[in-house]
Amino acid sequence: MSMHRRNRWSATMVLAAALSAQALPAVAQNPDAGQLEEMRRSIEVFSGVMRESLGFNERRGVFSPRAGDVQGHYLAGQGIVLELITPLQGFHNGASMQTLNSALEELSSQLGSLMSSGVVSRPDFDALRDSMAMSLRSDEIAAFYREQMQQLSSLLDMPAIEQALASAAASVQNLSNLGELDPDTTARMNQQMQTLRTQLTQRLAEAEALRRDIRDRAMQSDAIPSDEIQAGWARAREQLAVEVAALRAQIAEQAQILQAQNAALEAERLAQWQQSVAQLEARVFRVVCDYASGLRALPDDEHLSLMMIGLGWESGEGRRPDRVHVFDKSDLVACQRGDLDAEDLRSLAVSYDF
C-alpha cells in the first residue's frame, strides 16, 4: 500500500470513529460500592412497603408461603426493576381445552386421511387375509368382494367418533377439576362415556363379524353369492349404518354440550381474573404514588420498571406473558409531591405485555 493510500485510509478510519463516538449515547458510569449499597437499601425498603400494602405478607397457615412477593434489581443507567409475583399468575384460561380439542381434531383428520389412503394398516392379519382372498378370485369376483368391503368400511368414521368421545371425556375431567361437578355427577358422566364406548365396541364387533363372513365367502366360493346372501349383507350394513349414525350423533351432542359448559365457565373465570388484575394494578399505582419518596437513591434520568409476572394477555403461543409498567423518575416525584394522582401516573407510564 502506498504512503498516500495508507494516510487516506487512516484519515477515513479516524473520521468514522469520531462520527461513531458522536452517535453513541453516553455510557453510564460504574456505580461505586456506596451508591450500590444505598440503592440496595432503597429497593429493600420499597419492596417491603409494597409487600405489606398489597397484602403479600399474609399467610394461610404457619407453614404456608406468603400470598405474593416483590423482588428488586438495579440496572445501572436504566433503573430499578421490581418483579411482582402474585397468586393471580397461576390462572390459565380455556387454552388448554381449546388446544386439546384442536389437537384431537387434527389427529382425527390425519388418521382419516391416512386410513383412506392405506398408509395406516390394521394391527393384525385381517387386511392381509382379505388381500389374499381377493387375489385368488377372477377380476369380476374380486371387484365384487372389494366393493363389499369398501361399503362396509365407509360406515365407520372411527377417527371422528373417537375424537368426540375423547373431547367429551376431557370436558368432564376439566369441569370436575374446576369444582363444577361433584364426585357423584362426575362418576355418572364418566359412566355414560363408558357406556357409549361399549356400544361403539359392539358396533365394531358386528362390523367385524360381517367382514369375516364376506371374506370367508370370497375364499370359499368361485362365484358371486346369491341374491339372498347379498340382500342379507345389505340389510346388515343398513342396520349397522343406522346404529352407528345414532351413536355418532349421541356422542357428538354430548361432546358439544360439555364443550359449551366449559367455554361458558372459562369465559366467566377469565372475566373475574381480568377484574382482579385490574384491581391489583390500581392498588399498585396508588402504592407507587404514595411511597415514591423511598426511591430517592434512583438517579433522575433513570426509571422504575414494574414486572407483574404472568399477568399479561394470553399470547398466541399458549403462554401468559408478563405485564410491564415503566415510570420516569420525574413522574414518581411529581406523584409523591401531589402534582399527579395515581391515575395520572398510570397514563404517563409506558405499559406493555412481554
pLDDT of amino acid 224: 86
Instruction: List, for residues 171-194, the tens digit of each pLDDT value.
Output: 898 898 888 889 999 999 999 889
What percentage of the chain carries pLDDT values higher than 70? 75
Length of the chain: 354
Closest CA to 300 of 82, 79, 72, 40: 79
Q: What are phi and psi of 70, to 5 degrees?
A: -130, 120
* Number of CB atoms found within 10 A of residue 115's CB: 17
Which pLDDT score, from 0 to 100, does residue 216 have?
85
Render pLDDT for 208-226 as a digit per residue (tens, 0 to 9).
889 889 888 887 777 888 9
What phi and psi values does residue 344 have, to the nearest 5 degrees? -60, -45
Tell me the C-alpha distance between 11 and 232, whole Å. Answer: 100
Give the per-residue pLDDT at 316. 60
Query: Does 45 score more than 90 pLDDT?
Result: yes
Burial of 325 (0-12, 13-18, 19+ CB in 10 A): buried
Residue 57 has pLDDT above 70, yes or no: yes
pLDDT of residue 164: 87
Of 158 and 50, the structure prediction assigns the larger pLDDT to 50
Which pLDDT value is given to residue 174?
Answer: 87
Helix (H) or strand (E) holding 345, with range, is helix 342-348
109-127 pLDDT, tens digit per residue, is 444 443 344 433 343 445 5
Query: pTM for the whole thing?
Result: 0.65
Average pLDDT, the chain: 79
In this prediction, residue 31 has a pLDDT band, given cuts at 50, 70 and 90, of confident
Mapping DSSP onto H, E and C, the string for 55-124 reads: CCCCECCCCCCECCEEEEEEECCCEEEEEEECHHHHCCCCHHHHHHHHHHHHHHHHHHHHHHHCCCCCCC
Taking the C-alpha atoms of residue 270 and residue 266, their distance in angstroms, rounded to an integer, is 6
In the predicted model, is pLDDT for residue 353 greater than 90? yes
Per-residue pLDDT tens over the stretch 285-328 = 999 999 988 888 999 999 999 999 999 987 666 678 999 999 99
Which range, of 28-42, 64-78, 133-147, 227-241, averages the lowest pLDDT? 133-147
Beta-strand ranges (E) seen in the chain are 69-75, 79-85, 303-308, 323-328, 350-353
Query: What is the per-residue pLDDT for 101?
Result: 53
Which three cell numbers mark 26? 453516553
Residue 96 has pLDDT above 90, yes or no: no
Structure confidence at residue 281 (pLDDT): 95
**Phi, psi (5° rounding) for residue 30?**
-65, 125
The closest of 257, 261, 252, 311 to 85, measured between CA atoms, is 311
The sign of the CA dihedral 344, 309, 277, 336 is negative
Q: What is the pLDDT of residue 29?
A: 74
pLDDT of residue 124: 42
pLDDT given for residue 8 in this prediction: 42
Q: Residue 68 pLDDT > 60, yes or no? A: yes
The closest alpha carbon to 322, from 134, 64, 71, belongs to 71
